[in-house]
Amino acid sequence: MSYTTAQARAGILEEIAAAVAELETAMGQLGEAYELLDEQTADHLEADLFRPVQQALGRAKATAAGFAGRHGLDPAAVVAPGTPGVHSQGAASFVTAAGEAVEEAATLIAELQDSMAPVEVGDAELRAGLASIREIAETVPHQVQEFLRRLGR
């Protein structure tokens, strides 16, 4: 294995770790918002936003761990806790911030896909995992808008 291939693989893992950090942040933001909402609205938050973000996060972590395992890399680099913020922000602010974090994660994954690095390292499972993460993450901004629209009612 050449140094450039090893470097490319480490770079890919770093990019996935950055996306995981954004998704972790989104999870923290949604958790804080959940605590500030009434039960019915919190249930909608859980169904409409928490589940897809959790699913994207799980896929991102599994994709990173699988990639790291297949190529002898340290998957511990992917663990990065998010920072939720303070309660004075209000639920809408937390939901907005979560949406922004998920958008950033989707952008990071899209940029990684566009870089062609996943193709160059020849890992079909990685490419499939990235596509799955991006597909889920790209649905969240619309769901955030819909949730915020209903929140004020």
pLDDT single digits (tens) 28-84 = 999 999 999 999 999 999 999 999 999 999 999 999 999 998 988 887 766 555 555
pLDDT per residue as tens digits for the range 111-147: 999 998 898 888 899 999 999 999 999 999 999 999 9
Q: In terms of CATH, what superfamily is 3-151?
A: Ferritin, core subunit, four-helix bundle (1.20.1260.10)
Answering whether pTM is above 0.75, one says yes
Please give the Cα distance from 22 to 88 (Å, whole number). Answer: 21
The C-alpha atoms of residue 143 and residue 47 are separated, in whole angstroms, by: 10
Res. 15: pLDDT tops 70 = yes
Domain edges within the chain? 3-151
Q: Between 7 and 34, where is the model more confident?
A: 34
